[in-house]
Amino acid sequence: MGRLFKLLIFLLIIGFIGLVCYAYVGEYFGANFSPEQTEIRLPVTLDAE
């Protein structure tokens, strides 16, 4: 049981490291993580006295 738990922890750590590496290096392989930027203008009416 202890061996299985250690394997699970090891796989979680390796998966986390792989995800972080992919986030940093993924743009060189065609993955774009930046959101689309669009300008939105809305008129605002303030109720001030």
Nearest CA among 23, 43, 20 for reference residue 32:
23
Residue 15 lies in a domain: yes
| pTM: predicted TM-score of the whole model, two decimal places | 0.58
Total domains, the chain: 1
Q: pLDDT (tens digit, 0 to 9) for every residue of the chain, 49 residues total?
A: 889 999 999 999 999 999 999 888 887 888 887 888 999 999 999 988 7
13 is a domain residue: yes
Q: What confidence score (pLDDT) does residue 37 get?
A: 92
Domain assignment present for residue 14? The answer is yes
- Give the range of the structural domain holding residue 5, as residue numbers without chain letter: 1-31
How confident is the model at residue 6, as a pLDDT? 96
Q: Which residues contact 22 (CB under 8 A, 6 or more apart)?
A: 31
Q: Kindly state whether residue 20 falls inside one of the protein's structural domains.
A: yes
pLDDT at position 40: 94
- When computed from its CA atoms, the radius of gyration of the chain, rounded to whole angstroms, is 23
State whether residue 48 is helix, strand or coil: coil
36 in any annotated domain: no
